[in-house]
Amino acid sequence: MNQSPEDFVDIREVFAILRRQVRLVLLTCLVVLALAFVYVSRTTPLYTATALIKIDPQETNLLDPNAAARTNASIESSRIDTEVEILKSTRLGLQTIERTQLQTTEEFGPSVGLLDKLRLAVGLDLPPAPTVSQLTNATLLRFSNALNVRRKGLTYLVSVSVTSMSSEQAAALANTHARVYIDDQVASRVQSVATASEVLRSELTKAERRLSDSNAALRFYVSENIERLSEEANSEQLTLLKNSLNASSGRLAQFERNVQAADAAFEKRDWATLAEQVGEQGLRALEEERQSLRSRLQTGQIEDQQKLDLEAEIARLEGELETLAASSLSGLRGELRRERQDQDGFLEDIQQALTGADLSAQTLTEIYALNQGAVISQRQYDQLVTRLRDLEAQAVVQVADSRLVAEALPPNSPSYPNKKLVLAVALTLAVGIGSALALLKEFYYGGVTSAHQLSNVISAKVAAVVPRLSFQPGRDTLADKVIKEPMTQFAEAYRKLRASLDLGLERQGKLRNDRGSVILVTSSIPAEGKSTTALALARTYALAGKRTLLIDADLRNPSINDFVDEKPTIGLLEYLQSNGAMMDEEGTSNNDMNSAEQFYVLDPLSKLGIILGSRRANVPTDAPLQSTAFKGLVENARNAFDVVIIDTAPLLPVVDTQYIAPMVDGAVVCVRFGEATQVELRTTMTYLRDTLPEDAVVTSILNCFEGGQQNYRYDGYYSG
């Protein structure tokens, strides 16, 4: 695909634009750097302290060290990421706030906002005070914004960073949050073990009940059927065990009645009855002594001191009675337990005797079913007891799976703002913004800087680009170079302009042998090289052998006379003001053709005819250009010359050119490099299109071009 030269970025042109707009770039840099300096100076410095935590992704179990080898890399990575999210959780944040009383600090606690201060200043009522929950949430939000938790790459290290206006507070908060996390990890594990222990205890109680029920069912079966089983087995051993069981059952019943009566007596503090039940002589003696002292106390014939001594002695005896009664009751219960154990022993001996006895199949099946139920219940009970003991041991030896490997230290320098970084970024941003504004001004709001840009702005062909040349007043004008330096790029540019006009006029059918072409040369604003272009273009036509006339119709500020070094006393304006009749210096009418020589001259460097202006006008000049005299002048010139070039006033400052435009066949819009804004150019083209004939040829020329483009490659060709 072929690309035009305009599709490429010319670095030389970009640098030329920046050089032209260097003031704007420097001003932008100064403003941005000043704002950055104010920001750095006025911003409250913030300090960031970081604590480092090492997390063991394999849960530590001191009672089972081999359990750590049961994980894989993907699970470990997921667990580290999970712990990072836990470190960010609001639950840990609230614990840190509570531990450090962060809600009471000026930075994280409640504060009066700017809006509330303004309300106070103007005497308005403040909104209702926030609730405790709202204050806590506000503190939590500030702390969450100050907290940054991040995993160090793919390692097991996690950094906990806190940013604060105080370096000491930043370090304290980072360390506290890390310790809160570790403590919470231990507490969570202990709580988990405690919860599991509660569940196991509940299941253990049920298993114990099932085991007791199973054993009770078996023993009940044996005790209820002992007579039948003894007869069916016909075993002397079993008969002896039956008799022992019956005797034990009688003693057990007696013990249970004694314990029940002793408990009732103990509750009522009836020590005499209790002594009778337990058979404790010491208890009976203490009770008799107590009753004797109480009788003496109730006689009322004793002194106060003796009364106090008696009360103290009675209190001592009651304490001894309490202790001895409890001990005696405990002994009685111990005898009850031993009797139950003896009975259980007899039942177990009977069960063992039955396993080897010759019993019927039905009896064996019943005993086996009851015995299996008891065995299964015993096995479940043992398993639950073992697991519960393991959990109780774990609750005592729980440790965290993480540790604080590096405590946060108070930083010496603030982390924000980083003055060097801010100023460096500001400088870079300033240069970028300044360059963008420069380009924006050049390409959108400023003047035109390239032929491609000019073509897009005015939607018309750019016939030529005239390079910028140095010029010293008092010497040859720039238009003279067309004659004196014909092999330069400068001269070639006007020949390109002439060729473009000729081709356009020919396509429109305006090149005729019997009638000349009229070409208007204008610009948007003054000082865009309009008159230089008009004179140079007219000279190229004259050098090409065309009968050419140049009319200086810029009546407001005629300048062609200066270019050809002529100083006429009467010019085109005076001619038009007199309706075509020439006026002499005394103001009398003179139609002598010799008077025309005062503003019609021949170009000293070519065969070009020129109608000059004399001086700047001090009256509006649009009326003379609408006169019959001017229209007749243009029409006569069209009939007498091959080409008529009319140098007109700029379009935007004055209206003169809009009255000339309907009379011409083509128009050249002169644009000086970087001068007229794009808005001005678009307005100019609107005026032209509204006033020119529909078939008029419109082209443009870019003067004083400062960019490189690629014309420098042809310098040798032009210079021969």
Above 80 in pLDDT, residue 45? Answer: yes
Instruction: Answer whether residue 235 shows pLDDT above 80.
Output: no
Structure-model confidence comparison of residues 287 and 653, the more confident one: 653
Contacts of 443-447 with CB under 8 Å at 24 or more apart are 444/678, 445/677, 445/678, 445/679, 446/21, 446/674, 446/677, 446/678, 447/672, 447/673, 447/674, 447/675, 447/676, 447/677, 447/678
Inform me whether the pLDDT recorded for 115 exceeds 90: no
Where is pLDDT greater, at 675 or 701? Answer: 701
Tell me which residue has tokens 């400088």.
427
- Count of alpha carbons within 13 angstroms of residue 164, beta-carbon side: 25
Using a 10 angstrom Cβ sphere, with 0-12 exposed, 13-18 middle and 19 or more buried, the burial of residue 50 is buried
Beta carbons within 8 Å of 468's beta carbon, 6+ residues apart: 673, 704, 705, 706
What is the pLDDT, as a whole number, of residue 360?
A: 67
For 271, half-sphere exposure in the C-beta direction (CA atoms, 13 angstrom radius) is 23
* Enclosing H/E stretch for 159: strand 157-164
The CATH code belonging to domain 14-195+400-406 is 3.30.1890
Average pLDDT of the residues in 287-315: 75
pLDDT at 508: 83
Question: To the nearest whole number, what is the mean pLDDT of the chain?
Answer: 82
Q: Is the whole-model pTM more than 0.75? A: no
pLDDT reported for residue 692:
95
Rounded-to-integer distance, Cα 366 and Cα 231, Å: 17
Q: Give CA–CA dist 522/652, Å, rounded.
A: 10
84, 151 Cβ separation under 8 angstroms: yes
Is 633 buried (19+), middle (13-18) or exposed (0-12) by CB count in 10 A? buried
Three-state SS for 484?
helix
Do 670 and 703 contact (CB within 8 A), yes or no?
yes
Q: What is the model's pLDDT at position 650? A: 96
Classified as helix, coil or strand, 428 is helix
CATH number, span 206-396: 1.10.287
Residue with more model confidence, 384 or 682: 682
Q: Which pLDDT belongs to residue 597?
A: 64
d(CA 328, CA 275): 9
What is residue 97's predicted lDDT score, i.e. its pLDDT? 92
Tell me: the pLDDT tens digits for 193-229?
Answer: 788 888 888 888 888 787 777 767 766 777 667 667 6
Q: Which of 24-28, 228-232, 251-255 has the highest mean pLDDT?
A: 24-28
Q: Quick one: what percent of the chain has pLDDT higher than 70?
A: 83
What's the pLDDT score for residue 585?
44
| Confidence grade of residue 587 (pLDDT, cut at 50, 70, 90) | very low
Question: What's the CA gap between 74 and 77, in Å, rounded?
Answer: 5
Residue-level pLDDT at 64: 54
The domain ranges of the chain are 14-195+400-406, 206-396, 447-469+478-719
pLDDT at position 243: 74
Give pLDDT, residue 708.
58
> 447-469+478-719 belongs to which CATH class?
alpha beta
CB atoms within 10 A of CB 556: 21
**d(C-alpha 287, C-alpha 276), whole Å:** 12
What percent of the chain is modeled with pLDDT above 90? 37
Band of residue 450 on the pLDDT scale cut at 50, 70, 90 = confident
Predicted local distance difference test score (pLDDT) of residue 546: 93
- What is the rounded distance in angstroms from the CA atom of residue 541 to the CA atom of residue 607? 10
pLDDT tens-digit map of 621-640: 999 999 999 999 999 999 99
**pLDDT, position 135:** 85
pLDDT at residue 449, as a whole number: 82
